[in-house]
Amino acid sequence: MPEEAFETAEMKEALEEAAERGAEAVERGLAWVKLLSLTTAVIAVLAALASLESGAFSNEALIQKNEALLAQQKASDQWAFYQAKGVKAVVYAAQGDTAHAQKETSDQQEISTKAKEFEAEVESKSHESDRSLEHHHRFAYSVTMFQVSIALAAVAALTRQKAVWMVGLLIGTLGLAYFCDGFLVWF
């Protein structure tokens, strides 16, 4: 019997050690899952912010492009008016009415100045639109990277593969770089 008691004590001790190792492994696994969950939540928040910024810059680009088109229309109207004044000046000159011809020619100069101002506005608004669209693209890229990162985190959680999570974090870091660059855009 003493031999059986000894084997039972060893068996009990071995079971307790295995239980402790199992509890430690479970604790480490839970710590990893918590960290995975936390990083995924942060990336989801960044994705939401990037999506809002992307939409805002997209809308701004559309508004600026519409303003450029409106200024282009105004410039075209001014050039048409300019041509009409030129025709009138030629008609008055042909009739020998130099006073009216000179007035029409003088009016043409003012109209030309306004048309050129509208053309400058077209160029300015078009450039602003291009800049806003570039901001939009940077934020859109960051949203894409964040979404891929979140998807990889889900795969990592399901398969318990930390390497997949690490790849997702790397892609999330790239998304963060695009996110930060979206505020800068260098041109």
Cβ neighbour number for residue 73 with a 10 Å cutoff: 12
Give me the pLDDT at residue 187, please.
52
Q: What is the pLDDT of residues 63-116, one digit of tens each?
A: 999 999 999 999 999 999 999 999 999 999 999 999 999 999 999 999 999 999
The closest alpha carbon to 172, from 55, 42, 85, belongs to 42
Q: Which tokens in the block code for residue 157?
A: 């959680």
Distance CA 5, CA 113 (A): 109
In the predicted model, is pLDDT for residue 25 greater than 90?
no
Q: Helices 98-159 and 2-95 sit at what angle, rounded to 10 degrees?
A: 170
Q: Which tokens in the block code for residue 111?
A: 């109209």
What percentage of the chain has pLDDT greater than the value 90?
A: 78
Residue 156: φ, ψ to 5°: -60, -40
Q: Which tokens in the block code for residue 185?
A: 């855009």
Please list the alpha-helical segments (H only) found in the chain.
2-95, 98-159, 162-184
Q: Are 125 and 68 in contact (CB under 8 A)?
A: yes
Task: Taking residues 121-146, report their average pLDDT.
Answer: 96
Task: Taking residues 161-172, report their average pLDDT.
Answer: 96
Burial group, residue 182, by CB count within 10 angstroms (0-12, 13-18, 19+): buried
Q: What's the whole-model pTM score?
A: 0.74
In the predicted model, is pLDDT for residue 156 greater than 80?
yes
| Residue indicated by tokens 């030629």 | 90
- First-to-last CA distance in the chain? 88
